[in-house]
Amino acid sequence: MVISVWWTRRSFLNLLLYTSGFVPACWSFWLGVHDKLGPDPVRSFEHILGLWAFRFLLASLAITPLRIVSGVNLTGYRRAVGLLAFAYVVMHVAAYIALDLRFDFVTLYRDITRRPFLIFGMAAFLCLVPLAVTSNRLSIRKLGRNWRYLHRLVYVALIAASIHFLMAFKTWHVNAIFYVLFGIGLLSVRGINFLWGKRVHRRIYAE
């Protein structure tokens, strides 16, 4: 009974997370349709989606550091946050291809092979694809330990997405720097915790 109440609460919160996670996309779409996204609505829409993709990516990576630092355990919501990040990346790329390039795949190919900031964006996107595809119980069971190794690609995705974000502007952009520093902070907490764990492990076995 206790387990079923807990399960229901977690499922409900996950559902809430998925639905509220799409609010920024729907809201900016609505603003775009009503011509309220400023002088360059396509670019603004693309930027909003990219920014939320980055925010959700950071949020999914913040769950473990949050547990390490404060003891608050939100691991049950990591999959939802990670999938939201992926959904926003897909919408960000779709907006670029459909609204910006108008399905001009020749320009797309030229852009993603020649423009460095798009090469990094594409690398981040390609890292996230296998993670999204294997974010289900069946894959976790089938891949076993390899699932954890595969999901370390999220660090590569964050690094590539950070470079993409920083390079998206012609000059140093305070907002981008702030987000990237936050990402470096998250990776540092994980790194320190990993090295600390190894030290403790070595000490236990030495005794």
Q: Give, as ranges, the residues between 103 and 122 that touch ligand HEM (CB under 6 A).
A: 112, 118, 121-122
Q: Helices 41-70 and 78-95, interaxial angle, to 10°?
A: 160
Residue 96 binds to ligand HEM (criterion: CB under 6 A): yes
Beta-carbon count within 10 A of 28 CB: 22
Task: Let me know if 108 is exposed, middle or buried by CB neighbors in 10 A (0-12, 13-18, 19+).
Answer: middle
Q: Which of 14, 17, 29, 47 binds ligand HEM (CB under 6 A)?
A: 47
Residue 60 binds to ligand HEM (criterion: CB under 6 A): no
- Rounded Cα distance between 45 and 43, Å, is 5
| Minimum CB–partner distance for residue 98 and ligand HEM (Å) | 12
Residue 168 binds to ligand HEM (criterion: CB under 6 A): yes
- Diameter over CA atoms, the chain: 69
| Minimum CB–partner distance for residue 92 and ligand HEM (Å) | 5
Residue 93 binds to ligand HEM (criterion: CB under 6 A): yes
Residues 6+ apart with CB under 8 A from 182: 58
Residue 57 binds to ligand HEM (criterion: CB under 6 A): yes
Residue among 94, 67, 63 at smallest CA distance from 81: 63
Say if residues 127 and 154 touch (Cβ distance below 8 Å): yes
Residue 45 binds to ligand HEM (criterion: CB under 6 A): no
Residue 83 binds to ligand HEM (criterion: CB under 6 A): no
| Rg over CA atoms, the chain | 19
| Minimum CB–partner distance for residue 83 and ligand HEM (Å) | 13
Q: Give, as ranges, the residues between 3 and 32 that touch ligand HEM (CB under 6 A).
A: none
Residue 124 binds to ligand HEM (criterion: CB under 6 A): yes
Tokens 């595969």 -> residue = 150
| Minimum CB–partner distance for residue 60 and ligand HEM (Å) | 11
Give the pair of three-digit tokens for residue 110. 């030229």
User: Site residues (CB under 6 A) for ligand HEM?
Assistant: 43, 46-47, 50-51, 53-54, 57, 89, 92-93, 96, 112, 118, 121-122, 124-125, 128, 157, 161, 164-165, 168
